[in-house]
A and B are shown apart, each in its own frame.
Chain A
Amino acid sequence: MSGVESAQPVLRLQNITKRFGSVTANEAVTFDLAKGEVIALLGENGAGKTTLMNILFGQYTADEGTVTVFGKPLPPGNPRAALDAGVGMVHQHFTLAENLTVWENIVLGAQPLHAPRLRSGAAKAKIRGLSEEFQLKVDPDAKIGALTVGERQRVEILKALYRDARILILDEPTAVLTPQETDALFATLRTAIDLGLSIVFISHKLHEVMAISNRVLVLRHGKLVAERPTLDTDRAELSALTVGAETSAPDLAPATPGAALLTLCDLSTSAIGTAPGLRHANLTLRAGQITGLAGVSGNGQAALSDLISGLVTPQTGQLKVAGDIVTAWSPRDAIGQGIARIPEDRHKTGTIADFDLTENTILETYATQFSKRGWMNWRKAKAHAESLIETYDVRCSGPDARIRLLSGGNMQKLILGRVLENAPRIILANQPVRGLDIGAVNYVHGRLAAARDAGAAVLLISEDLDEIMRLSDVIHVISDGRLSSEFARGTMQPEQLGVWMAGDGFEGHDYAA
């Protein structure tokens, strides 16, 4: 295997089993990691990848099994011991304090708490040295809150390197990066490998797995189902191993775009917290067409989605629905205009966790369809919920179950049913498949495509470029609140979109600041 030394493994996991209640997240997982090796841990969402790595890092305690680092057993449930043994973890959801500076986040916990004072000068010098060595450019004095997602990830990696990590665990590190940032990350990782570090790389993007790893481990339902040297496998085999059974992405016939249903003309909105508002945006959503919106999160997607949902109103410019300029605009107006929403965060804004399925299915229509003279018609509502559960294949104990007990995929199916049942004219799908496994992804995509064919205008907002390119008839890129012009399906390569996502395609165009 390409330059991997076959001495004692730096890391050995033996028979790791972890249960959450009745769910087995990991079952008897065993593998070794050699010095200088990159293992890719592949699997669908919910396959147990993150749980396994959290056990290795000591954030969870395994029910059975042992972790051995450099020949020494690691005490369970102790991140400090893992750090001291040389294990560093870059979490998928960054563990950074936003109001503290870069160097403070890195130094936190690295100097003993009883030390009389912080050694900031020495710390910053060491951080600058590591930045240089590993090509991780970041200003030690910057506040985390002011950094881009890519920069924050560099801070996470620096945190591990600062504490002399010899084993790096990266949990879906590329999920939030542009293609260019991904390339830079890979360059950093190659430097690390050359210096003798070992890496566990968690991903479900097959081309990245093929590009960076020496060996691929496939996890399915918590079990290690396959192990392949990267050179002896290919994307087709890995894809089949990951999913188990074959499910296919929907075949999309060419769209037959119809009338413009929703138009933004030179429209600007105010900023939302640290995320920018829209800046002189132009956009047309047409009937029978899926419009994809590519972009790194926090670049104005929230503003656009809130605008279309009726949560914010335009500051300047015009919003037209079905050709008419909108004067009054609220969520109620938006619903009245036939706009249906799949919200970005199904837990926070998509559902009410402690309401049951019946109540959650009628959140928008309870007043119009399920009540009479101020009295709720629960019988009708329940029958309605049952039919949605049936039609959209929601796996649950019944319409009386609290929705928080559903898995992400089933919750999303219910939301999808709620969205589609009233034959909406415009569908706002904001990250509709985030966190879903491939089976559920294909289901949601198929439904959205069917809605398109039935004449709906669909706006698909996603950080996953593959998803955007697969499903969209036309693509816009959003960067710092600016919207690119429309690119037709098949005219753009991911790298070209990446240039726009990084904000570099907008020069020379008339995008006023």
Chain B
Amino acid sequence: MELFEILTSAAFWAAAIRIASPLIFATMGELICERAGVLNLGIEGIMVAGAFAGWIAVWAGLPLWGGVSVAFMVGVGLGGIHSILSVPFGLSQHVVGIGLTLLATSATFYTYRVMLPEVSTPPKIDAFQPLHIPVLSEIPFFGPALFQQTALTYLAFILVGVVSFTLYRTPLGLAVRAAGESPAAVAAQGLSVTAIRMGAVMVGSGCMAVGGAFLTMSAFDSFFFDMVNGRGWICIALVVFGAWRPGKALFGAILFAAFDALQIRLQQTGIGAVVPYQVFLMMPYILSIIALIVMSRRAAVPAALMVPFNKGER
């Protein structure tokens, strides 16, 4: 059975983890924003900007981690625009988010053309290479599947732990969760809802941008216009799928990535000769819709998500 062979191959799972990595970064970013009460639909544009910023920084001579930092800072800046409009000004988060996606995407393409006016094919950089972890990467099956990834992939998994610990085990995380549940409670305890929400949106947007940068700096080694290709929207669904919990969202990201890796391989099997390839391309999306329906029936959406808070009003 071809399916069985695919599912038991270490290469398949290594690919799934690799495909999941940018989703994990961006999903954690979106989750932080939404836990604080802000829906960040700028995610798609922020990922595009992050993908470009990290890559161009390395092309311009910065080290790889310098490029990641630049991407993060670009995300923080774009998140700053979002948060000023959506938090203190209290504008519609849908409109602000979509607007930011359009702005960030167009500004990225514009910058690309300004910086590289003559090129027909974008230049390549020396991207992150797989990092073999001593001992662990030697384990049969699990070694090649999990422990021969690039440093950014390991960082994605570390990020899940950090976000989870911060949200549930620190006073800061409690304040973020409370800001998404009842901003009035946060204000009554003497904390600034505005500062907490703006901070969460900026840090979350930074994570999204790193997710974008993974595409140009680890998955590939160059920048293309349609690279992000809807991954941001998938991450918004993954946050719902994960019921706003980091661990469950990580599971969702890996599940989606596994379906994506699977459909590529199925196209090359006997079935692929009969069924049009577009059906395989649809597969992860159809399955994620089904998974969403099943999983998110009783999801605990933050009570104050998308509700602006104005001090001094009732």
A→B interface (CB under 8 Å): 59-61, 78-84, 89, 91, 93, 95-100, 104-105, 107-118, 159
Contact = CB atoms under 8 A, between A and B. Distances in A.
A147 B300 CA distance: 18
Interface stretch (B22-30, B77-85, B186-194): B186-194
Nearest to A104: B174
A100 B177 contact: yes
Nearest to A82: B190
Interface of B: 169-175, 177-178, 181-182, 184-191, 300, 302-303, 311-312, 314
Contacts, number: 87
10 contacts: A78-B190, A79-B189, A81-B190, A84-B190, A89-B188, A93-B184, A108-B178, A115-B172, A118-B173, A118-B174
Nearest to B191: A109
Given A109-B190, A117-B170, A97 B182 contact: yes
Contact of A83 (B169, B185, B189, B302): B189
Nearest to A91: B188
A115 B171 CA distance: 7
B170 A159 contact: no
A99 B177 CA distance: 9
Contacts of B303: 97-99
Nearest to B171: A111
B74 to A, nearest CB: 26
Given A109-B191, A112-B171, A159-B189, 14 more contacts: A59-B187, A81-B190, A82-B190, A89-B188, A97-B177, A97-B178, A98-B181, A99-B303, A100-B177, A107-B174, A108-B189, A110-B189, A115-B172, A117-B170
A91 B177 CA distance: 21
B62 to A, nearest CB: 30
**When A and B form their complex, which 4 residue pairs have the shortest distance between CB atoms, in order from nearest?**
A80-B190, A109-B189, A97-B181, A97-B182
Nearest to A156: B188
Nearest to A58: B190
B191 A80 contact: yes
B181 A83 contact: no
A384 to B, nearest CB: 33
A159 B172 CA distance: 18
Contacts of A104: 174, 178
Output the residue of B181, B185, B186, B300 with the most chain A CB within 10 A. B185
A99 B188 CA distance: 17
Interface centre among B178, B186, B190, B303 (most CB of A within 10 A): B190
B172 A114 contact: yes
Given A83-B189, A117-B170, A95 B184 contact: yes
A96 B188 CA distance: 9
A99 B311 contact: no
Which of B173, B178, B186, B302 lies at the interface centre, i.e. has the most chain A CB atoms within 10 A of its CB? B178
B178 to A, nearest CB: 5
A118 B188 CA distance: 19
A286 B311 CA distance: 48
Nearest to B172: A113
A92 to B, nearest CB: 10
A108 B312 contact: no
B174 to A, nearest CB: 6
A78 B188 CA distance: 10
A148 to B, nearest CB: 18
Contacts of B190: 78-84, 109
Contacts of B302: 99
Contacts of B184: 93, 95
A84 B189 CA distance: 10
Nearest to A50: B314
Given A82-B190, A108-B191, A117-B169, A96 B185 contact: yes
Contacts of A79: 187-190
Given A104-B174, A113-B172, A99 B181 contact: yes
Contacts of A113: 171-172, 175, 191
Contact of A60 (B169, B189, B312): B312
Given A109-B190, A113-B175, A96 B170 contact: no
A22 B144 CA distance: 72
A118 B177 contact: no
Which of B171, B174, B178, B188 is the most central at the interface, judged by chain A CB atoms within 10 Å of its CB? Answer: B188
A280 B301 CA distance: 33
Nearest to B187: A79
A91 B181 CA distance: 17
Contact of A99 (B169, B170, B187, B300): B300
A105 B175 CA distance: 9
Contacts of A89: 188
Given A59-B187, A109-B190, A118 B182 contact: no
Contacts of A108: 171, 174-175, 178, 185-186, 189, 191
A109 B182 contact: no
B20 to A, nearest CB: 28
A113 B171 CA distance: 5
A91 B178 CA distance: 17
A93 B185 CA distance: 10
Highest count of chain A CB atoms <10 Å: which of B171, B191, B300, B303:
B171
Contact of A107 (B169, B171, B314): B171
B244 to A, nearest CB: 10
A53 to B, nearest CB: 12
Contact of B185 (A60, A81, A97): A97
Contact of B170 (A59, A78, A115): A115
A22 B182 CA distance: 30
B187 A118 contact: no
Contact of A95 (B169, B170, B187): B187
Contacts of B185: 95-97, 105, 108
A79 to B, nearest CB: 4
B187 A96 contact: no
Contacts of A110: 189
Contacts of B170: 115-118
Contacts of A78: 190
A490 B186 CA distance: 46
